[in-house]
Structures are given as structure tokens and as C-alpha cells.
Amino acid sequence: MWKLKYILSLIILVSAFACSKKKMKADILIKNGIVYNGIDKTPENISIAIKDDKIVFIGDQNAVIIDASKIIDAKGLIVSPGFIDPHTHAEEDVKDSKKSHNLPFLMQGVTTVTIGNDGSSYFPTQKFKTLYKKQGLGTNVVLLMGHGTIRKEVMGKSDRKATDRDIEKMRKLVQQEMDAGSFGISTGLFYAPGSYSNTEEVISLAKIVAKNDGIYDTHLRDESSFSIGLIPAIEEAIEIGRQAKLPIHISHIKCLGVDVWHQSDSIIQLIERSKAEGINITANQYPYEASATSLKAAVVPRWAESGGLDSLFIRYDEPALRKRILEETKKNIIRRGGPDKLLIVKAVDTIFVGKNLLEISQLLNISPEETVFKTLKTGFVKVASFNMNKEDISNFMKQDWVVTGSDGGSGHPRKYGSFPRKYHKYVKKEKLIDIATFINNSTSRTAEIFKIPNRGKLQVGYYADIIIFNPKTFKDKADYTDAFQYAEGLKYSIINGQISIDDGKYTDKLNGKVLTKNNDKK
């Protein structure tokens, strides 16, 4: 008899325990996945529940009863926070209602892109923010203001030092853009008109950004030996951080061209020393050996283009100036490894596309430097410039302060392949970094650097920006001959709690939001 009593009370106890299990309602339940949360070094086999746009549960599913409208079985798949891309040239796509789905990035697992890098942004932020919201976005968007853009608003494209009055006007515009939700300022000190500014000008504007808790993102004044040199350009960025007291983020860190190859060790030491001094300095990097930029920016001397493209050709038509322009252009071509290392990836006249500068010059029977101006006369020309060395790329990639960034713009495969390429080539094949490092430095670290709240980690209360990919098949397909191929292996992408990629297919839904610095509900 006592035995029966005992068993009965045990049954009551067990069922009471079962009933005490918390019941939850969710929109989506992801179970059985290999979960990397964006912070930890080891994955866990746990479940995640999403309600509305947030993560409401993460942990052992047996501890709760979850009633979900959709269940995703992620067995054998990796579950990670959505990738955050700190440097893109997606603004043209984002502005165009036919391309604002941002699929080249979305298919890489990117759920947030940054736009307005390299000193160039659409102006004013408020106007474009409204447009993006109206049109809808495939991914979230983080906005930066361009220093070059602000300078152009106040001073045009002229090659002159800013007066106190110019600086005052620019500082007002910087405040206006921060008020509109910009996360900080980007500079393109290599490009005109950013290149016409001195360090003091940049510090003065960066101080306004610092006051607003923003960040400083830079395309360095020199990534090679074009003007002041690579290391002095990094020293300039550090000095801006020291004086303006704001975090410094170096975009697409690299040693561009034979003159500066193997400087990565000294650069790492320099940055480590500055970090020890208390300067917050980080960088992003794309996993390719070729950079990409306009042919003009790559090889034409800056002084020659002061005033814009028309002024360049007026100078070029003057025999004495033409001689100097051609000599300097020739030197710049050599810096980049020679004319056969400059591949035309985009041009108005498509006959040039897919050929390198040497091939075109042979075809036209003129020198490579003359070929530059012949092709520029036809309009915008973009090149892939093969100028990096494997050792430097690896050296930078191994640093915990270097995050993944695509610098993706049309013509270079990095727009379609950066994140899966880093995973496939550097994590899986070459084992240069482990998978958790790759994920953490593509998610939470980037959110932290850009001060993006409540994203980049899988954590209760955070926005549900989540990707699920197949570790066996996740890879890039785009290359230099066909740069427009979507990456493979992404099974699901959830943005703000809504499914954008479902079993490998785009759902045609624009689930992204414009993120703004001061109030992410704005």
C-alpha cells in the first residue's frame, strides 16, 4: 500500500514539475542547430525562439514549452547572428527601389550594411533616410556621413586649405548629420576632395562627432607610397583619435603595392602601442588580394584632377602639363605592380571590360599611361588592382581588432563573396582562424565598434537578426571574370524577426530597417 502511495505522489510531483515549465508563444523556433552566439568560442546545441522582432528565448528547449507558428530544424547547420558589414558601397542599390533588396549582401549572410564610407555619402542624411524607409530595405542599414561630401557642400571640389569660416560651416553640417542619425564620420583622405584637407581640419570635425559619441572611419590618406606613405597615414589616423578622443576604425587595412609589402608587422606593433596608450583603434579587411577603385583614383595624380574631370582634361590638353601628368601616372601604375596588374572590371565602353591596362594599350598601340586617359575620356572606369601580398593579408586577419568588411561595390567579387569566402578559404581550407573568431569578428565585434545597440549577438532581448548556413556548402562563387554570382550555402536569414531567406530562397520581403544612432526606433 505504501508503495502505491509513493508512486502516486511521485507521479503528482513529476506532473507538477512538467506543469511548472514555462509556456511560451513564439513566431519562430530554431532547434537542433550548432549555435554560435557571436561572443563565445565554442558552439552549443541549443534552441532559439523569436517573437515579433526580438529573441525571446535561447537555451535548452526541454526546460520550456514553446508554441511556435514556424519551426526550423537546423540539424547539422550553423546558427549565427547575421553578419554586419562595416564598409560597403551599397548606397546606389539601397537608393534604387529595384535593388534595395540588397541580395548580393543578403545571400552572404549579411543582415546589416554600412553605407557612406570612404568620405562619400548622400546628403543630407535626413532626406535619404526618409527615402530608404519609404522604399523598403532588404537588410538593415547603418549610415555614416562622408567628410568629402561635407567639404564639397561648403568648399566645392577645390584644392585649398579650409578657412576658419569653412571649418565652422562644416562643423554645423556634421552636427546636423549626427542629429539625423549618422553613426559617425567617414573620411577618404586618399580621394579628392578629402585629400585636400589637412589633419587639423579632420580633427576639428571629428571633435563634433566625438561629442555625439560617434565613430571615425577612414580610408587612409595613403595605403601605399603615393604621398605621405602607409605608416605615416596610420599615424595620422591615430593622431586624430588621440586629439579628437573618438574611436578610430581603419577601413580595408592593407599594404598596397610592392613599396610597402611586409609592413604589416610594424603596423600591428604601432596599433598595439596606440591601444596600450588608450586609443580605441580597430580595422576591417576584405579577404582578397586585389583592391578595386576607379581608374582615375588609382593612377591619376590628385593635383591634376583638382576641380573635377573637366579640369583634368583641360590640363591634359596642355602639352607641358600633359608630360608631367603622364610621368606621374606612369609611376603610379608601377606602384600598383605594372599595367598588367590593373584589370578593367567596369567601363562605359564594354570593350575594355575583362582586359588589363597592358592588353588595352597593346590593342590601341599607345603607352599604358596614355591608355588611362583614352579610357577615362569614355566615362567612369573601375579597376581591380592586384597589389596585395598573402603574408600581409594573413597577418592582419589574425588580429582580434580586425573585423570582416566587404568594401563591396559593383565589379569586384567582394560585393557578392567576402563573408563566405573568408569562411571557405581562410577558416575551412587554410585554417588561419577558427570559425568562432570568424563569426565573432563578423558580428558582435563590429556592432561594438560601430556602437550599434542590441544587434550582433544571440541574446534574449536582442533583435532577431539570425542566419543559418550549411558548414559544408557555404562558399563564394563570384570571381574576377564573373563578379555577379550569389554565394552558396545560406539556408535561412531572419532580419528583425522576419524571414528573408527561407530554405535557400529569397522570400521577396524587405525586412531591413534604417538604423539610426540616437534612437533605433526612429
Which residues sit at the interface with Zn ion, rule CB under 5 A?
Answer: 118, 219
At its nearest, how many Å lie between Zn ion and the CB of residue 283?
12
At its nearest, how many Å lie between Zn ion and the CB of residue 292?
9
Nearer CB in complex with Zn ion: 219/382:
219
Nearer CB in complex with Zn ion: 91/118:
118
Residue type for position 282: T
Nearer CB in complex with Zn ion: 387/444:
387
| Cβ atoms of residues 48 and 73 within 8 Å | no
The C-alpha cell 574611436 sits at 247
Instruction: Tell me whether residue 63 is exposed, middle or buried, using C-beta atoms within 10 angstroms of its C-beta: 0 to 12, 13 to 18, 19 or more.
Output: exposed
| Cβ atoms of residues 74 and 468 within 8 Å | yes
Nearer CB in complex with Zn ion: 131/228:
228
C-alpha R_g of the chain: 25
Candidates 90, 143, 147, 150; CA nearest to 119 is 147
Number of residues in the chain: 522
* CA dist list (Å): 517 to 85, 136, 143, 182: 16, 19, 8, 6
Nearer CB in complex with Zn ion: 219/315:
219
Helix 309-316 / helix 368-376 crossing angle, nearest 10 deg: 140
| Cβ atoms of residues 192 and 305 within 8 Å | yes
Nearer CB in complex with Zn ion: 289/520:
289
Nearer CB in complex with Zn ion: 117/441:
117
Nearer CB in complex with Zn ion: 219/513:
219
At its nearest, how many Å lie between Zn ion and the CB of residue 411?
14
Nearer CB in complex with Zn ion: 118/465:
118
Q: What is the DSSP string of 12-38?
A: HHHHHHHHHSEEEEEEEEEES-EE--S
Please name the helix (run of DSSP H) or strand (run of DSSP E) that holds residue 416, with its range, or none.
Answer: helix 414-421
At its nearest, how many Å lie between Zn ion and the CB of residue 151?
16
At its nearest, how many Å lie between Zn ion and the CB of residue 252?
6
DSSP 8-state symbol, 398: T
Nearer CB in complex with Zn ion: 93/118:
118
Strand-strand pairing, 290-294 and 140-143: unpaired
Residue type for position 464: A
Instruction: Take residue 486 and report the three cell numbers written for it.
Output: 550569389
At its nearest, how many Å lie between Zn ion and the CB of residue 156?
22
Candidates 419, 510, 489; CA nearest to 93 is 510
The Cα–Cα gap between 82 and 141 comes to 13
| Cβ atoms of residues 286 and 406 within 8 Å | yes
Residue type for position 201: E
At its nearest, how many Å lie between Zn ion and the CB of residue 222?
12
Nearer CB in complex with Zn ion: 79/343:
343
Collapse the DSSP code of 408 into the 3-class scheme (helix H, G, I; strand E, B; otherwise coil) and give the result. strand
Residue type for position 284: N
At its nearest, how many Å lie between Zn ion and the CB of residue 472?
34
At its nearest, how many Å lie between Zn ion and the CB of residue 286?
10
At its nearest, how many Å lie between Zn ion and the CB of residue 218?
9
The Cα–Cα gap between 289 and 337 comes to 12
Q: E strands within 342-443? A: 342-347, 381-386, 402-404
The C-alpha cell 514549452 sits at 65
Q: E strands within 270-339? A: 281-285, 290-294
Nearer CB in complex with Zn ion: 249/457:
249
Q: Which residue's Cβ has the minimum distance to Zn ion?
A: 219
At its nearest, how many Å lie between Zn ion and the CB of residue 89?
9
Residue type for position 9: S
At its nearest, how many Å lie between Zn ion and the CB of residue 255?
15
Nearer CB in complex with Zn ion: 51/89:
89
At its nearest, how many Å lie between Zn ion and the CB of residue 234?
15
Candidates 206, 185, 193, 208; CA nearest to 160 is 193
State the number of CA atoms in the 13 A half-sphere of 429 facing the CB.
Answer: 10
